[in-house]
Amino acid sequence: MADVLIIGSGGREDALRQAMLASPEVARAEVHSSVEQGVEAFRGSSDVFSIVGPEAALVDGASDYLRELGHTVLGVSQEAAQYEASKAKAIRTVPELFPQTFIADGSDMPDKARAFVEMNEPGSYYIKANGLAAGKGSIGPHSRDHAIQVIEDMISGGYDGAGTEIINFQELITGPEVSPVALVGRNGDFVILPYAQDHKKLLAGDQGPNTGGTGAYTPVPESLVNANEHAEIEEMIATALEKAAAQGTPIEQGVLYAGVIKDLGSDGKPRTSRVFKFMEWNIRFGDPETQSQLASMVASGVDVYRLLRSAADGDLEKPNIDLQKLPVAALTVALMANGYPVKAQTGEVIYGIDQEYQGVTLQKAGMKFEDGKWITSSGRVVYATGVGEDIDEAADRTFAAIGKNGVHFKDMHYRHDIGWQARTRF
């Protein structure tokens, strides 16, 4: 029986904990916000399987450190984590698989960035901060003045320090996005977890500012990813892993979460021979995609612990079931505090968090237990994830667990239209 240490503090990590405890091979699974706390809590355990959740911990070398202590670890090396810490590094590894990108860097980076803005129409590109910006470092400027302001904010450190040295300008593509998350063993061996679709915008109808993610669902419709397109995405990921290894920084014993987008023209047809383009590389599980993906897998009979442990061991054992054709759908909704993503209102009592709901699990995130009550402590407070025979049933169950008869807190906000791409009723 294994003990599982999960590093992190969000809904993604709580979903991993729940999936680990669903395996008969796991005796104990706990989430700890820091490596030091986790190591101390599991001191004396003879078999510790550690999963590093947040990108910041991976960039800081948490996986390498835990391996040195003798843990079996799912999480790429500190060196490989630079593919997420630097968007420019990922783009330069496989430029042919990304949209057209101008990288402003060097000692004259500010001048290069301002010159790009003057020469290009706003609305034709995204400005992407190079570095970790908590999912909020990608901005589509609505005017040249707005673009200049974004650049100045990045240079001055306003995006968690991302973009102070390198700013990327990426061609705007308006097609639908999907989240292929590849679980990677060694020597380029990988399997793609069930495709999920994230919702980044704060408000219904995909309006408002970008967030870290307001909800997700799986599976995605065949109209979004068909069999031929799945094969193309597999080929893109295989190429990425091959090129990364060739330049001496392999992505292995961890995750490659590559956001992709359909590159479609105004006629709805692909503009090039490739249907999809990479938007970014991440080297960890998605949030909130993980909540939906793992719930669907567990409810479909997949032993997630065995799958993840095999990747960490470097000898990936692919499940017998097709992960793109699981019999159970899942839908996740983030319950957010008022003011998120700018300045979240905290300190509100959370009600209904300890109740049980049919076909629904709750993943704790921005909350803390104080004076016998759960209270809000950050923007994305808790996630509700429902499962069902299809997306509609999963959605019905999820939303039934939210509100005055379910989970709620003062001034709570959430999107009612999560999964609109696949739902047939609202």
Q: Which pLDDT score is estimated for 110?
A: 92
CA 169 to chain centre: 22
pLDDT value of position 229: 95
What residues in the chain have per-residue pLDDT under 50?
Answer: none
Q: How far is CA 9 from CA 181, 329, 356, 409, in A?
A: 20, 25, 22, 20
User: Residue 65's closest CA among 53, 56, 55, 78?
Assistant: 78
Q: Which residue type occupies 123?
A: G
* pLDDT value at residue 272: 83
The pLDDT tens digits of the residues spanning 317-328 come to 999 999 999 999
Structural domains of the chain, ranges and CATH numbers in brackets: 2-81 (3.40.50.20), 106-165 (3.30.1490), 177-313 (3.30.470.20), 329-400 (3.90.600.10)
What pLDDT, on a 0 to 100 scale, did the predictor assign at position 118?
94
pLDDT digit string (tens) for 262-277? 988 888 888 888 899 9
Pairing of strands 138-139, 26-32: unpaired
User: What per-residue confidence (pLDDT) applies to 317?
Assistant: 95
Please count the CA atoms within 13 angstroms of the CA of 420 that sit on its side-chain side.
11
The Cβ-side half-sphere exposure at 256, using a 13 Å CA radius, reads 32
pTM: 0.94
Question: Strands, DSSP E only, in 41-112?
Answer: 48-52, 72-74, 101-104
pLDDT at 162: 85
What is the reported pLDDT for 167? 93
**In this predicted structure, what is the pLDDT of residue 294?**
98
